[in-house]
Amino acid sequence: MTATDEGQVALRRHLGRVTAGDILDVRRGLDVVSARLAAAARTEEDLTALGQAMERRTAAARVADLDAFTDADVDFHLSVAEAAHNPLLGDLYRNMSEALRETVRAGRCMDEAGDDLYHGALFEAVRAGDPVAATRAALAILEGDAAI
């Protein structure tokens, strides 16, 4: 096992001992930076991945498939981080993905997905290349703020 792998194992072990609030605090930072950078650096391939994750998320919510919804929601946020084209940011997000899955499941995100404008606003801001709107939408997702 390389030093990087040992670090990933240690991070995952540590994530298993933190609260949902701790994860949310870290997500605020990661999601805001990811959204801002993604809006500036995204490619057409990134937009395709984001769009596919959004479609899967919406379809899963429509049929109340919590597992599929959770996977698609995490994939959406990971795709935003990947679209930032910052390898460290992507690695951090990937290593947190299991903890994120748990917070999405526990946070009743699927219950609120029917009228969820926030993820759509983030997708559109990234597509438009608008870092300010992307940042605002990323915060709205986490805060449930209607002022997107």
pLDDT for the residue numbered 23: 75
pTM exceeding the 0.95 threshold for the entire prediction: no
**Least confident interval from 63-67, 93-97, 130-134:** 93-97
Average pLDDT, the chain: 84
* Residue 8 · residue 111 · CB < 8 Å: no
pLDDT of residue 4 exceeding 60: no
The tokens for 25 are 């605090």
pLDDT band per the 50, 70, 90 thresholds, residue 105: confident
Q: Please check whether residue 73 is in contact with residue 142, taking contact to mean a CB–CB distance below 8 angstroms.
A: no
3-143 under CATH 1.20.120.530, yes or no: yes
- Under DSSP, the state recorded for 18 is S
Q: Rounded to an integer, what distance in angstroms lies between the CA atom of residue 108 and that of residue 87?
A: 30
